[in-house]
């Protein structure tokens, strides 16, 4: 099975939008519940380009959308949704906790790991929803 550039663009777009809607939506619920200090949809500029933090995060969500879509695209039904949830939860969280946090001098603790798994799992489901909807339209 081969996939067009359009489908890979859809995977990037899906990852970007899943960050803005699902990832940040769950973060908003945590924030409203007083569980995290970080406000969702943070518009503070981040180096080196000075783009808003949420846009930078969504860009990386788009990048993550490519490999996650590459893996989950071949499955149907429950396996599709479960793999989207698990890959979305585990992949980005591991990279954040093992690479990004140490580079930024941030501490890693159980609450951050669990929170990361939840918001990134929601991101994975958001990507799966987008891909199902966008590929149905294209068919």
Give the predicted TM-score (pTM) of the model.
0.91
- For 70-109, b/e burial (b = at least 16 CB within 10 A) is eebbeeeeeebbebbbebbbebbbeebbeeeeeeeeeeee
Q: Are 77 and 27 contacting, i.e. CB atoms less than 8 angstroms apart? A: no
Beta strands in the chain (DSSP E): 45-46, 51-52
| Joined tokens for residue 100 | 């990004």
* Tens digit of pLDDT at every position of the chain (139 positions): 456 888 889 999 999 999 999 999 999 999 999 999 989 999 999 988 999 999 999 999 999 999 999 999 989 999 999 999 999 999 999 999 999 999 999 999 999 999 999 999 999 999 999 999 987 776 5
Total count of residues recorded for the chain: 139
């Amino acid at each position: 099975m081969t996939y067009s550039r359009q489908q890979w663009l859809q995977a990037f777009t899906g990852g970007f939008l899943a960050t803005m809607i699902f990832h940040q939506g769950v973060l908003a619920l945590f924030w409203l519940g007083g569980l995290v200090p970080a406000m969702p949809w943070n518009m503070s500029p981040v180096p080196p380009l000075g783009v808003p933090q949420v846009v930078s995060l969504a860009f990386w969500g788009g990048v993550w959308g490519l490999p996650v879509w590459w893996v989950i695209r071949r499955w149907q039904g429950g396996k599709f949704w479960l793999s989207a949830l698990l890959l979305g939860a585990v992949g980005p969280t591991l990279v954040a906790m093992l690479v990004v946090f140490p580079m930024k001098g941030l501490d890693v603790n159980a609450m951050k790991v669990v929170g990361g798994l939840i918001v990134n799992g929601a991101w994975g489901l958001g990507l799966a929803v987008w891909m199902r909807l966008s590929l149905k339209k294209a068919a």
